[in-house]
Structure 1
């Protein structure tokens, strides 16, 4: 059987490098997507401020209903002994990920 003259290592490398523009385009898209955190992002934390509307006890633990602006409200569990009351300002940590926002009280959540 005759040996193929176009099956040398250099020819195989040239065959792969023939599509270098496509490889560059795919790499650019992947770089942009990962840089903008569009895939599998771990989430980010932000410090937000709100006003406590009411404090009540559920399952033996205090929780507060907090107004975070005109249209957003959150219910957060408070640490025991927190001096929060209706009308006080509270600091919350907002954890964002792709599908939802979670809130938890900052340390310390309410000013005394």
Structure 2
């Protein structure tokens, strides 16, 4: 017999309690990830299109997104966070190749 927690169900009396990861609400994590993806994909439109090189697969970009915003990043209602993007130009190439729109 399995418990409610093993089945992914909330224990009695805990139905409305939000999941957390390292004391951060899962909804804040999801929102911050969406914001980070939107920012990085939108930021790529300013970079000129060119052929993808092998070195593009090794690029790691990191941007700090403070909650009050900056001259480069939008303000948001999540805690300050850093968002890393791996191989952004290579993934832009694949999104275009498979017809995935950036919006």
* TM-score bracket, shorter-length normalisation: under 0.3
Of the two, which has the highest radius of gyration?
A: 1
**Bigger helix fraction:** 2
Q: Name the structure where strand makes up a greater proportion of residues.
A: 1
* TM-score of the superposed pair, with normalisation by structure 2: 0.28
